[in-house]
Amino acid sequence: MQFKVENSLMSEVNESGRRDFLNTLLAAALMTGAAAETAHAQQPSAAGQPAGNARAGLRQPLPAPFADMDAAFALLTIRPGGPASRPHTHSGFVLGYVIEGDYLFAINNETPRVVHAGEIFYEPPGATHTTHASAKPEETVKLLAIVVGPKDAPTTAGAR
């Protein structure tokens, strides 16, 4: 599956450079078991147990022409029966890869779609992430999310 990153900074890099950039981000995440902050993933379910979790932060400063940006990595687990997260935004664009399970995903109140294990998703800058849940209530979902945005900025905020 391919996707197009529509970001003025990304358009400054040739196609090969974009591919190398994205491959480097994904390789770094997978090799280190990387994760970043996501407070919404720790929301308790009705039973008082967290519905999911995210490992503590790992950030990678980026080279020119992205020197004022970094990539924040989050390894997220969405547990069965957990509530969906509240709508939220991110400080930059998001590249996501579903490691395990079927992920129910939508931005900007669009119709949710299922992203299967081995597939990717993209959130453009400024989008509101409106659906974040397991597509199957009995199934755990694991995914890697990479937020590329301003250096050291909080990665997640409640929707405005």
CATH code for the domain of 107: 2.60.120.10
Domain presence at residue 104: yes
Residue scoring higher pLDDT (133 or 39): 133
Domain contains 1:
no
Give the phi and the psi of residue 18 in degrees, each rounded to 5: -65, -45
* Whether residue 154 has pLDDT greater than 70: yes
| pLDDT at res. 159 | 81
Identify the band that residue 80 occupies on the pLDDT scale cut at 50, 70 and 90: confident
Domain that holds residue 34: 8-158
Asked if 41 and 35 count as a contact pair (C-beta separation under 8 A), the reply is no
- Asked whether residue 93 is domain-assigned, the answer is yes
Give the pLDDT confidence of 26-54 residue by residue, as tens digits: 555 444 443 333 333 333 333 333 345 55
Stronger pLDDT, 39 or 150, i.e. the higher one:
150
Domains contained in the chain, number? 1
Q: What does the pLDDT read at residue 139?
A: 94
Residue 2 lies inside a defined structural domain of this protein: no
For the chain, what percent of residues have pLDDT higher than 90? 56
pLDDT of residue 82: 73
Residue bearing tokens 């940006």: 69
Whether residue 49 is contained in a domain is answered as yes
Q: 91, 154 in Cβ contact below 8 A? A: yes
